[in-house]
Structure 1
Amino acid sequence: MTILAIFNQKGGVGKTTTAMNLAAAMAHNGMEPLMIDLDPQAHLTATSGVTVNSEDSIFAFYRDNKPLTELVKPLPNGVNLIPSHVELAKVDTLYRKTGSIIMRLRHALYDEMLAASGVPIVIDCCPFLGILSINAIAAADGMIIPIAAEYLAMKGATQLENTLEAMSRLADKRIPRRFVVTRYVPSRRLSAHIIGEMRDRYGPELCKTKIQENSSITESAGYNQDIFAFAPKSKGAKDYGFLLDELVESGFIKLPG
């Protein structure tokens, strides 16, 4: 079993897209993963075609101590989702004076036997440092950081590393991490230059698999579908399938048995 936190503080790099399609790749391979939308923007929930009240979202877990298992919504593609709601933004205000909240999600995942269920758990983090992101990092066995193959994404790499280190200190652990290049265009000369810089900066933590810029990935979200349901033969589907294979073969994602 592996709990993965998908994080980047920069928007537009494919964080939610990666969470959705990596989980879909797992389901495509019979893993029946659980996704947790821990972002108040609730983009993962919306692109999954789910609409809920705050009482049926992850916010109810934080505000009312509602069990996580009562919030799970099965999706048609074989993925299970704990949805988010805009009210989740209130969590930082509710718990800013207490340190006990840091391990809240991790304890619940283990107490409710979700962490011991043998299925991977994918957490879509909010794009800033706060109680929710720290909860995700404290709960996770590994972190995946999507980075777009663009100049501004590389310019923000130092700030990203500072944020990751701050999160690790607050969560009292440094978890294994993998950086995934997204929006990659092989024919673009700048892309090759950026890949070289990323390889120098991140070394073996940089995944070999690159998620190529692909219109099917963008369009699939608009139809509330993952890339495997929307365009199973597209480059996007192949790339996310290869990414899952790489993470499993390297031992970053651990399968039961």
Structure 2
Amino acid sequence: MWEVARGLRLAPCTVALAGLESARGGLVSLPDRDRRLLRYLERVAPHFDRCVIDCPPTIGYLTFNALRAADEALVPVETGFFALRGAERQVATIGALADQVGRKLAVRIVPTLHRDGSQLSHDILGAIGRKFTAHIAPTPIREHEVLREAVSYGQSVVAFAPGSPAHDDFRALAEWIVDTQATVSAESQAVDHGAAAAAVYVADGPGDSVMTSDGHTLPRLAGHGRAAELAQRMRISGAPTSGHEQDLPEASV
């Protein structure tokens, strides 16, 4: 676990992580296959204030591990065309998955890539706010060129452009998360989770499914392409570190 900024540590992954979900990856044969992350985080929790889990855009054992371990879900929603429908489906999907593992998960909506000068973005942001009144971040993450520049330099916006409007957006988001209590979304409870699952999940083939340690079975979303691509890009680009590793218990499959 690397210290990438003051007070911030990162546990990076590689493309090999996706292989754990395969039949021969080792994870599927474990009795606690969807609780491994939860148990590890319980061990290291005294060392940290908060943990953010970046999930792949697939429904598999990695996502189930994240749902088991998380107290709430952050749903980034671009304030563009089809955004409201996309947000509704994501909240429904999270609700369906949370039901599968026998728990309710609080949801927060985070508007992103918001264009201040766009009437369409303004109207869509308003519609999302009316739909998810109690769950939407009060300040959207606006489009800023400095965000792209920070990524190109392998830095966070906090380090690259402290005090910038982009930094202010993320500071406001962090303060909202820390200072307010997330609640279970009424929207996710109101939908037919079975129908939502049928509409969103796509099985790769017969028998291609995920079974939790409680015996629940759920189809898997097709493909690992984008998740693998993002992981590979992270591995290649790397990140600036202080060169110090946190002495914490090792995670094992």
Structure 1 length as normaliser, TM-score? 0.65
CA contact under 8 A between 2:139 and 2:172: conserved in structure 1?
yes
Indicate which of 75, 99, 107 corresponds to 2:39: 107
Aligned counterpart, 2:7 = 78
Q: Secondary structure at the match of 2:109?
A: strand
The Cα shift of 1:127 comes to 1.3
Separation in structure 1 between the aligned mates of residue 48 and residue 87 of structure 2, nearest angstrom: 34
Amino acid paired to 1:236:
A
Residues 104-124 of structure 1 show CA distances to partners (whole Å, capped at 9, x for unaligned) of 1111111x2x12334211111
Residues 129-178 of structure 1 show CA distances to partners (whole Å, capped at 9, x for unaligned) of 11111111110112111111111333323431332122212332122121
Identity value in percent: 27
**Is 1:146–2:76 an aligned residue pair?**
yes
Indicate which of 8, 14, 19 corresponds to 1:90: 19
The Cα shift of 1:78 comes to 3.4
Separation in structure 2 between the aligned mates of residue 115 and residue 197 of structure 1, nearest angstrom: 37
Q: 1:196 to 1:99 in 2, by over 3 A?
A: farther
Q: Secondary structure at the match of 2:57?
A: coil
The Cα shift of 1:214 comes to 0.4
Separation in structure 2 between the aligned mates of residue 128 and residue 152 of structure 1, nearest angstrom: 20
Aligned counterpart, 1:215 = 145
CA contact under 8 A between 2:73 and 2:107: conserved in structure 1?
yes
Separation in structure 1 between the aligned mates of residue 169 and residue 37 of structure 2, nearest angstrom: 30
Indicate which of 47, 50, 53 corresponds to 1:117: 47
Aligned counterpart, 1:198 = 128
Q: Secondary structure at the match of 2:132?
A: helix
CA contact under 8 A between 2:75 and 2:90: conserved in structure 1?
no
Q: Which of structure 1's runs of 4+ aligned residues deviate more than 6 A?
A: none
Separation in structure 2 between the aligned mates of residue 102 and residue 76 of structure 1, nearest angstrom: 30
More helix by share: 1
Amino acid paired to 1:145:
V
Aligned counterpart, 1:162 = 92
Aligned counterpart, 1:127 = 57
More strand by share: 1
Q: 1:243 to 1:76 in 2, by over 3 A?
A: closer
Residues 150-209 of structure 1 show CA distances to partners (whole Å, capped at 9, x for unaligned) of 113333234313321222123321221210101111221111211122123212011111
CA contact under 8 A between 1:154 and 1:194: conserved in structure 2?
yes
Separation in structure 1 between the aligned mates of residue 149 and residue 114 of structure 2, nearest angstrom: 17
CA contact under 8 A between 1:129 and 1:163: conserved in structure 2?
no
Separation in structure 1 between the aligned mates of residue 31 and residue 76 of structure 2, nearest angstrom: 29
User: How many residues end up aligned between the 2 structures?
Assistant: 179
CA contact under 8 A between 2:91 and 2:107: conserved in structure 1?
no
The Cα shift of 1:89 comes to 1.0
Q: CA RMSD in A?
A: 1.8
Structure 2 length as normaliser, TM-score? 0.66
Residues 21-42 of structure 1 show CA distances to partners (whole Å, capped at 9, x for unaligned) of xxxxxxxxxxxxxxxxxxxxxx
Structure 1 unpaired stretches of 5+: 1-71, 253-257
Structure of higher CA gyration radius: 2
